[in-house]
Amino acid sequence: MKLKKAAALAATLTMACSVAACGGSPTSSGSTASEMQVMLYPALAYRLPVLIAQERGFFEEAGLSVNVVAQPNNLQGAQALTATKSQAGQVGTATFAQGVQGGSDVQAFCGGITVTQSSIVAAADTDLPAVADGATPEAVFDALSGRKIGAQTPVGSGFQIMLDAALTEGGASDLTWVNIGGSNSVTQASLQNGSIEVAQSNPSGTQALVESGAAKELIYLPDHSELYGELYGSPWIAPTEWLRNNGETARSFCDATATALEFILDPANRDEARQILIRDSGISDPAIADAVLETYGEYSSDISPDAIQRTFDRYTELGITKPEPELDAGELVNTVGR
């Protein structure tokens, strides 16, 4: 569950309920709502379905009271879920797998982003080939050979290993890696000062860089790389014990986020979805917001154990995860949310 920054509205970190069980609060109809605490990074695009479900009352209709808290930057995703005493968080599949192998007792229970949304961008005045200009993916990958690549995570991390493998499998060679982090401002400055020649970028950062004229997208990796397009991107995870005791609540959460996704994808709701996205993400340009909204077609509340297992197996091949303890999607994907 690997998306970008800008000034944002961050929710206050509170402890609404324990990991094992939650209390209830009255809804507008007078019934008791099941409470959930949900962990998300501030300002990032993947928050929108949850915000829509809150503001449009989809959670309330499902009998839920959802409190959003900020995910800490200094903790691995599954560890952060425990540290914030949250019942759900959306994380990259690699982060989920590494957390399990590190001892975190969590399961995936609801779909999120079905691909790993990532692009390769260059400075706006680049002469490198781009798929949007008619270049073949093979030509784009080949042109990256011998280049300095800006990675969002340290060299040797799972995310960087995956990117290196995707570019290498595409035909690039002799790559030099520079860790620039995930900040849009650093990516833009690094491209402009020549410390890197191309960089990895994700929504909404890609759209902000391209629409503002600060960068050019060379290739969108899910469309042209098996690693990014066919492996599962970011599921929702929850503590195993909580899922065991709160299956109906988990299912209601998935149903409400599914309704929110339908709302986002309906053109009739574009204005409202745009306004909520702009307010939460700090995006100021409606054109950038509209470009980000186009990316939600790759979200889904459904989750497939087969897709997760395929992703686990490929990560092990790449060395992103360890061979032991074995990652079994049959045990680690709880279909209660489907």
Give residue 150's pLDDT.
97
Which among 65, 47, 49 has a CA at the least distance from the CA of 10?
A: 47
Do 99 and 324 contact (CB within 8 A), yes or no?
Answer: no
Structure-token match 């709502």, residue found: 33
Angle, to 10 degrees, between the axis of helix 48-55 and the axis of helix 270-281? 120
pLDDT of residue 338: 59
Give the pLDDT score at 159. Answer: 87
Contact 113, 46 (CB under 8 A): yes
- Residue 267 has, within 13 A of its CA and on its CB side, a CA count of 0
| Structure confidence at residue 336 (pLDDT) | 80
First to last CA, the chain: 19
Each of the 338 residues of the chain gets a pLDDT tens digit; together they read 333 333 332 332 222 232 223 344 444 444 457 999 999 998 889 999 999 999 999 999 999 999 999 999 888 889 999 999 999 999 999 999 999 999 999 999 999 999 999 999 999 999 999 999 999 999 999 999 999 999 998 898 888 999 999 999 999 999 999 999 878 899 999 999 999 999 999 998 899 999 999 999 999 999 999 999 999 999 999 999 999 999 999 999 999 999 999 999 999 999 999 999 999 988 889 999 999 999 999 999 999 999 999 999 999 999 999 999 999 999 999 988 55
Strand residues in the chain grouped as ranges (E): 24-26, 32-40, 64-70, 88-90, 106-113, 119-123, 148-151, 176-179, 198-201, 215-220, 234-239
Q: What does the pLDDT read at residue 337?
A: 54
**What pLDDT is stored for residue 23 in this prediction?**
40
Distances (CA, A) of 66 to 25, 35, 279: 10, 6, 19
- Coil, helix or strand at residue 266: coil
- Nearest residue to 331 via CA among 228, 248, 243: 243
> What pLDDT was estimated at residue 184?
86
Query: What pLDDT, on the 0 to 100 scale, is given for residue 75?
Result: 86
CA distance 335 to 48: 23
124 neighbors 282 (Cβ within 8 angstroms): no
